Amino acid sequence: MAVALFLVPLIFALAAFLVPSSRVRPWLVPLGAAAHLGLVIVALRENADVSAFSGWLVLDKLGRVALPLVSTLFAGCSLYVPTYLRLRSERPNRVFCGALLTFLSMMTLIIISHHMGLMWVALEATTLATAPLLYFNQNARSLEATWKYLLIGGTGIALALLGSFFLAYSALHAGIHGSLLIDELVRDAPLLSRPWLHTAFIVLFVGYGTKMGLAPMHTWKPDAYGEAPGLVGALLAGGLTTCAFLAILRFYQVCAAAGEGAFAREIMVVMGLLSMAVAGVFMARQRDYKRMLAYSSVEHMGILVLGIGIGGLAAFGAMLHLVNNALTEGVLFIAAANIHRAYGTKTIDTVGGALRRVPASAALFLAGFFAVTGSPPFGPFLSEFTILRGAFDSGRYGIAAAFLALLFVVFVGMGGTVLAVVQGKPRDDLPDTGFHDSLGTVGPALILLIAVVVLGVWVPPGLEEALREAASLVENGR
Amino acid sequence: MSTAVDPLLVLILMLNFLLLGTSRLRSAINASAMQGALLGLLTVFVHGELSARPLVVGAAAIAIKGLLIPGMLHRALRDAAIRREIEPYVSFVTSLILGAVATGAAVLFADRLPLAPEHQELLLVPASLATVLAGFLIMSTRRKAITQVVGYLVLENGIFVMGLTLHDAMPSLVEIGVLLDLLVAIFVIGIVINHINREFGSLDVAQLDALKE
């Protein structure tokens, strides 16, 4: 079962490479996504542990949150693939479809792998699988974005490996015969050599944090999200970052089990607030609305680690925010991609009055903006409010105040750009791009938005239970 | 056997300085190739007695880090007809001084980390940290895409040295995965460089600056 979870998308990827017809091939992506989602649902309903290879692959309580999330987001975005590739029929799509499905497979592998080395290999594989996705447009700008993504991401991956070695050494020094299984590290955590453990966590945090896009390691993000096709941006912002965050949580789990949780939490609080602040600064007067979304993603990565850093109720809030953020990013990136298609440019110098030109996409973009900045009744409001309550409950009023202030700064900064996009009258001299709202381009974003609204009003008991268990696993190791 | 380990590590450290100080792309690539080959030897010598696994891994390191990747880089250099000297963001003297500071910091920091009995006499950890830092320096102070790749290689070499301390603890799957992934990563980066070359007619990453605030 555990093997099938990542093997099935890989088989679909292979099929995508083999299918000769460029018209049929894009349909393999939603098909593969549906198969994956089906498998995930079956795996979640199984009462016994889903595992394979003597503990190398385990679907644990964290995975039970992250895997359905990634699978749902991918399924939502995959509905957009056939329409998008029909609009871009001038481009070959063999590599694009194959890489998308490989990407899904490797994200799954990161989530279910409990072996440090295997998790690292899967992370590297996601980077390689996403490079051709970023380079889809094959122009100078997407090339520059891909180059930065590979070099900065590659450095992050290298550091993640170095950190894994440090962690393994801390076990070796303690006389434990070098285990790289997370479960064994958590079990033996009290014995680990402290100086090595501290160094390992810092290096791992920087390494996986680079993939997550935390400031100041976020510099690849605006370029990559700005130049990538919208649905790729959605999958990077909601999927890949979720996987990198999960990796950080696993190492935090080891730290917490070793009694060094406070040390790790301080780092996460500082880095979380820093990411929010950097995002706030760069989002103000941002003229490019896709780059603006990248900074919004940096902000939300900051909120996630901040929530874990505060701990307790806020850790539960962070898990809830993980779900809300990924789904909301999906809405925003797809809506932004539609607006981009309709105007042909992505700066507010030429884009305006989108509510008149593409009413449905613009309305979704506006709703996505309110959702992502934490306005009721959307899901992120609930999760950000939970993190805030967690900060108050633990008496960290300074952090709570900074959190609120930064949320406000981001709201104002982002609002300026979003309103410029949707309001007003479109310029008269705009060329007709032939793009109109249709079921295929608006539907996927609408489905994701409905999910975000539902989560803002009502968190299903099953999900709440899963989130609580995941937060407890991270903090208490069970 | 392990008496050869420290001299080899000193050679690797000296190559770091050669890389930091050289202005010629060719000698930078050659120095990284030599470093890779030394890592292969190191893999064999770090074990007390000869056995099959370190020999295979060592041979693979020499083949990939010492021959294959430098060959690819030389080829990229030739195809792009670039033989100009490197124009770094900071002068070579400055980067040598920074390299010396980084090496000193690595030694001081490594001193604070407790070592397992079998590594106490060896320079493995300080050499690893110093090489990682040198790689960072090269990556962040050089303009050319190809030198940044060399810097990345040096960074990876430093990590490889750290991996040697864990040789017995790491399952062989990961060992092979590491080398394969490295190969693929560089391969992809190489393709990208190729495209940069075609798009801009030069390998200067300073031209990659259309995307900024």
- Cβ–Cβ below 8 Å for A140 and B155: no
- Using the predicted structure, report yes or no on whether residue A207 has a pLDDT greater than 70: yes
- For residue B117, tell me if it sits in a domain: yes
Contact B46, B119 (CB under 8 A): no
Displacement of CA B45 from its chain's centroid (Å): 19
Please compute, for residue A424, the number of CA atoms within 13 A of its CA located in the half-sphere on the CB side: 16
A17 touches chain B (CB under 8 A): no
Please compute, for residue A415, the number of CA atoms within 13 A of its CA located in the half-sphere on the CB side: 11
What CA–CA distance (Å, rounded) separates A183 from A56? 9
Contact A475, A261 (CB under 8 A): yes
Closest partner residue to B210 among A121, A144, A162, by Cβ?
A144
pLDDT band at A449 (very low <50, low <70, confident <90, very high): very high
Report the DSSP beta bridge partners of residue A181: A115
Q: How many helices (H) and strands (E) does chain A have?
A: 21, 2
Residues listed for chain B? 213
- For residue B20, tell me if it sits in a domain: yes
Amino acid making up residue A422 = V
Q: What pLDDT score was predicted for residue B34?
A: 94
A284 touches chain B (CB under 8 A): no
Low-confidence stretches of chain B (pLDDT < 50) are 1, 173-174, 177, 201-202
Mutation pick from A144, A150, A177 vs chain B, by most beta carbons of B within 10 Å, is A144
- Cβ–Cβ below 8 Å for B174 and A177: no
Amino acid making up residue A426 = P
pLDDT band at A286 (very low <50, low <70, confident <90, very high): confident
What CA–CA distance (Å, rounded) separates A116 from A342? 44
Paired tokens of A131: 């490079």
- For residue B37, tell me if it sits in a domain: yes
- Cβ–Cβ below 8 Å for A177 and B208: no
Q: What pLDDT score was predicted for residue B105?
A: 93
Report the DSSP beta bridge partners of residue A115: A181
Task: Report the number of distinct structural domains present in chain B.
Answer: 1
Closest alpha carbon within chain A to B209: A144
- For residue B212, tell me if it sits in a domain: no
| Range picked from A51-55, A126-130, A189-193, A238-242 for highest mean pLDDT | A238-242
- Which residues 164-193 on chain B approach chain A with CB closer than 8 angstroms? 165-166, 168-171, 173-174, 177-178, 181, 184-185, 188-189, 192
So where are chain A's domains? 2-476
Q: Residues B114-142: pLDDT tens digits?
A: 888 777 778 889 999 999 999 999 988 88
The ipTM (two decimal places) reads 0.88
- B15–chain A nearest CA distance, Å: 20
Angle at B208 between CA B206 and CA B211, to 5 degrees: 125
Mean predicted lDDT score pLDDT of chain A: 91
Q: SS3 string of B24-90?
A: CHHHHHHHHHHHHHHHHHHHHHCCCCCCHHHHHHHHHHHHHHHHHHHHHHHHHHHHCCCCCCCCCCC
pTM attached to this predicted model: 0.93
B145-164 vs B124-141: helix crossing angle, rounded to 10: 170
DSSP sequence for A184-248: HHHHTGGGS-HHHHHHHHHHHHHHHHHHHT-TTS-THHHHHHHHS-HHHHHHIIIIIHHHHHHHH
What CA–CA distance (Å, rounded) separates A100 from B76? 29
State which residues form the domain around B171.
2-207
